[in-house]
Structure 1
Amino acid sequence: MAFDPVQRLLAVGTLDGRIKIFGGDNIEGILISPKSMPYKYLQFIQNQGLLIAVSNENEIQVWNLEFRQLFHSSQWDTNITAFSVIEGTFLMYLGDENGLLSVLKYDVYDGKLQKMPYNVSIHSLAEAAGVPLLDTQPIVGILPQPNTLGTRVLIAYEKGFLVLWDVSEDHAVAVRGYGDLHMKGQVTGAQTHASEDQIDNVDENEEEREICSLCWASRGGSTVAVGYITGDILLWDMTAVSSRQGKQTDVSSNVVKLQLASGSRRLPVIVLHWSAGSAKDTTKGGKLFVYGGDDMGSEEVLTVLSLESSNGLESVRCASRVDLKLDGSFADMILIPDTGVPDKTRTSALFILTNPGQLNFYDGGALFSARKSEEEYAQPEAQKFPVVVPTIDPSITVTNMYSLTGREHPSISLKKFCARQIVAPPISGNMKWPLTGGVPSEMSLKEDHAVERIYVAGYQDGSVRIWDATFPILMPMFVLDAKVPDVIFDGANASVSSLAFCSLNMTFAVGTTSGLVRMYKLQENSGDSSFHFVSGSKQEGKYCT
């Protein structure tokens, strides 16, 4: 997933080369790649209407959202293992399997990606940092440091090598890993009840470990959280100079370990995201979102750790832990920043993508509200992403589109049936819809609006839904439930198998798998509706409001 915090657009990549774009005002769109292949990286060039996508086959695509077109694509000759767009620019960092950091630029005038002459190999970087390397390693993470305009970038290599690199001056600002953990350090536990902090020493015999994920864990980029294949999370202070440069003697005093479980075999920490607390918060803490780190075989959850610190990493403590149960297997997550707030580290919502294609979101207020005690805590409520046309819940079985225009059709206005424009999808409680972007269509909902087309769908639970399809954005009109109040008959909830519509008298016929046929007549609202049930030669009539 990717998010543009300025235009408030959410992009979701699929396994078959499609990209779904969500905005506001019921705006959705689909971009279809010429090749059916999964995407491994998606990022917006913010506020430019451009989306950069990197496929599993290392094809870099540039999508223009205004024209809904693929403007440019280029094939990279090595396996891309890390990718990041520099905020506020058309520049992007790219890391590959050979440990090479490259810089790309999108030229808005000729619409092409240009490879810049600047690049840094792992061997030249290690030599500049004074670190001996035995072999080449892939770059597994690239994080431009906040408030540096991309001139400083944190580069993470597979075997645990971390370098904060200054691009403008070509030197290493800080180096971590490779022996730093062999010194005594501080460990903060986050097992079971996170309020029970555990302080211990780092094992002096710990081996180099593979990095799986990383994120900045502070407002200014002074601390980075790194997830490892062992299930551990290390918080590294990146402000001090490396000990190998002779200016720092105790790097281990600037590292903290978070351990979510006590078992010997734990899941790799696949995903890490950080959200800072309130700007008025004196504890200098925030929330760390973690996928992984629990014992092997444990229930699949997304863990939210509330970290507090009054004096740097030395005073870090875990104030609380929340495990959000997942609806399906985890695919991705993304934090949505507040609108109109300069501090983009504050979060208004959390989106979690699970397989197969379910998108849930949590309101930021519920996730970040303070709890006085464990007894007062209530599990934050997840909301399923509201869809205009449901396809899975309930499952759709048959659809059709009908035209209401032409000489053979009377001039029938369905304006009284047309739903008013929905500014935001329906959400329970006081949750605020976080997506506000997109370009509205030229849809008119004036009093003289006449429906020219309708889209009808039948469902597995026997219900039928009807939308105004006059414009590309479908507007809900009817939900016809298969059940009738106070009337019980066989096959009422059978799946819809066929649909028929007569526009001359505005009559629907709905057939089900049980052999039942239901007839509906659409008319201007009179306040009442009638129901007639025919079985053989017997007919029963009933009126209901």
Structure 2
Amino acid sequence: MRKFNIRKVLDGLTAGSSSASQQPQPQQHTPGSREPEVQETLQSEHFQLCKTVRHGFPYQPSALAFDPVQKILAVGTQTGALRLFGRPGVECYCQHDSGAAVIQLQFLINEGALVSALADDTLHLWNLRQKRPAILHSLKFCRERVTFCHLPFQSKWLYVGTERGNIHIVNVESFTLSGYVIMWNKAIELSSKSHPGPIVHISDNPMDEGKLLIGFESGTVVLWDLKSKKGDYRYTYDEQNISCCAHQTSQCKTNDMAISCKNIRC
């Protein structure tokens, strides 16, 4: 029979109690002591400020157009922004990459398309028949500055007037320039010996779709025949021309707010 040794048992209990006393005890936080800092993983570069909602009328508006069939209002701004308004509560925001001011907008009526003319002499064709409007084509004028554009109803020809007094014709379907150009010296002929200034107005004649009413800044107004490539009528006003309107009579508004009317019926 094996002999039991009580001394070895007591030595084992003493060693176990001493090792247990040497283990780290959990820290107890007293009231008012600082909590341990948590390591943050998010940095400032993980955040970016962006606009999610826009209220009110666009800031610094510079151009306006309306589609009477689809009831869409387009507003361009001096910062190159484009806002589209439909029924109440429906609107869309777009931005031209160049940031140049929008000087004119022209709807392709009831076709879901829009032409924008910018101050950097660039024309853009927008596709509005998708959830997010996008630019389909762009056309840059390098030698002349764009001052006025006109797109007749259901026409594929866009008339672009320039600062030099010339009118270029753009095919909207391909968004390319045609070979037809109305030169300022051919339009005025001998009605004036000096340059008539930039184009400030272009409109088609409601009595004859083959004729254009052209207004120059100097006050000269020309009724141009597209087929014969010559001017049928020419009028010269003493005041600077601001705007024209082709109706059964030609109406012109001058710089001193006077309105003159001329009969253009044959």
| Among candidates 117, 135, 138, match of residue 195 of structure 2 | 135
The answer for the alignment partner of 2:157 in structure 1 is 91
Structure 1 position 147, deviation (Å): 4.8
The answer for the alignment partner of 1:229 in structure 2 is 255
Structure 1 position 173, deviation (Å): 2.3
Question: Which secondary structure does the structure 1 equivalent of 2:188 belong to?
Answer: helix
Matching residue's letter, 2:180:
Y
Matching residue's letter, 2:140:
Q
The answer for the alignment partner of 1:300 in structure 2 is none
Distance in 1 (CA, whole Å) between partners of 2:195 and 2:166 is 13
Structure 1 position 136, deviation (Å): 5.0
- Report 1:422-461 matches (<5 A): none
The answer for the alignment partner of 1:286 in structure 2 is none
Structure 1 position 152, deviation (Å): 0.8
Structure 1 position 79, deviation (Å): 1.0
Question: Which secondary structure does the structure 1 equivalent of 2:186 belong to?
Answer: helix
Distance in 1 (CA, whole Å) between partners of 2:141 and 2:70 is 29
Equivalent residues, number: 200
The answer for the alignment partner of 2:147 in structure 1 is 81
The answer for the alignment partner of 2:188 in structure 1 is 126
Gaps of 5+ in 1: 179-207, 241-545
Distance in 1 (CA, whole Å) between partners of 2:205 and 2:263 is 13
Conserved? CA contact 1:45–1:90, under 8 Å: no
Is 1:3 the counterpart of 2:66 in the alignment?
A: yes
Bigger-Rg structure (1/2): 2
Distance in 2 (CA, whole Å) between partners of 1:60 and 1:239 is 34
The answer for the alignment partner of 1:146 in structure 2 is 206
Specify whether residues 38 and 132 from structure 1 end up closer, same or farther in structure 2 by C-alpha distance, changes over 3 A only: closer
Is 1:210 the counterpart of 2:236 in the alignment?
A: no
Question: Which secondary structure does the structure 2 equivalent of 1:124 belong to?
Answer: helix
1:90-117 alpha-carbon deviations (Å, 9 max, x no partner)? 211111111111111122xxxx411011
Question: Which secondary structure does the structure 2 equivalent of 1:231 belong to?
Answer: coil
The answer for the alignment partner of 2:168 in structure 1 is 102
- Report 1:85-484 matches (<5 A): 85-107=151-173, 112-127=174-189, 130-149=190-209, 151-177=210-236, 208-216=238-246, 221-239=247-265
Structure 1 position 87, deviation (Å): 1.1
Distance in 2 (CA, whole Å) between partners of 1:104 and 1:147 is 23
Matching residue's letter, 1:83:
C
Matching residue's letter, 1:215:
C
- Report 1:481-492 matches (<5 A): none
Distance in 1 (CA, whole Å) between partners of 2:239 and 2:154 is 34
Distance in 1 (CA, whole Å) between partners of 2:94 and 2:126 is 8
Matching residue's letter, 1:211:
N
Is 1:43 the counterpart of 2:103 in the alignment?
A: no
The answer for the alignment partner of 2:19 in structure 1 is none
Q: Would you tell me which structure has more helix in proportion to its own residues?
A: 2
Conserved? CA contact 1:79–1:97, under 8 Å: yes
- Report 1:37-76 matches (<5 A): 37-67=100-130, 68-76=133-141
Conserved? CA contact 2:165–2:196, under 8 Å: yes
Matching residue's letter, 1:89:
S
Distance in 2 (CA, whole Å) between partners of 1:41 and 1:96 is 13
Conserved? CA contact 2:213–2:221, under 8 Å: yes
Structure 1 position 231, deviation (Å): 2.6
Structure 1 position 155, deviation (Å): 0.5
Structure 1 position 20, deviation (Å): 0.9
Superposition RMSD in Å: 1.7
Conserved? CA contact 2:212–2:224, under 8 Å: yes
Distance in 2 (CA, whole Å) between partners of 1:136 and 1:214 is 15
Matching residue's letter, 2:151:
V
Distance in 1 (CA, whole Å) between partners of 2:213 and 2:261 is 14
1:173-204 alpha-carbon deviations (Å, 9 max, x no partner)? 222125xxxxxxxxxxxxxxxxxxxxxxxxxx
1:322-379 alpha-carbon deviations (Å, 9 max, x no partner)? xxxxxxxxxxxxxxxxxxxxxxxxxxxxxxxxxxxxxxxxxxxxxxxxxxxxxxxxxx
Question: Which secondary structure does the structure 1 equivalent of 2:256 belong to?
Answer: coil
Identity in percent? 25
Matching residue's letter, 1:233:
I
1:228-269 alpha-carbon deviations (Å, 9 max, x no partner)? 1123221222226xxxxxxxxxxxxxxxxxxxxxxxxxxxxx
Stretches (4+) displaced over 3 A: none
Distance in 1 (CA, whole Å) between partners of 2:117 and 2:111 is 18
Question: Which secondary structure does the structure 2 equivalent of 1:123 belong to?
Answer: helix
Distance in 2 (CA, whole Å) between partners of 1:143 and 1:61 is 20
Conserved? CA contact 2:105–2:114, under 8 Å: yes
1:26-67 alpha-carbon deviations (Å, 9 max, x no partner)? 321112111222111001011111100001111111110123
The answer for the alignment partner of 1:24 in structure 2 is 87
Specify whether residues 157 and 136 from structure 1 end up closer, same or farther in structure 2 by C-alpha distance, changes over 3 A only: closer
What is the TM-score when the length of structure 1 is the normalising length? 0.35
Distance in 2 (CA, whole Å) between partners of 1:45 and 1:163 is 25
Specify whether residues 237 and 209 from structure 1 end up closer, same or farther in structure 2 by C-alpha distance, changes over 3 A only: same
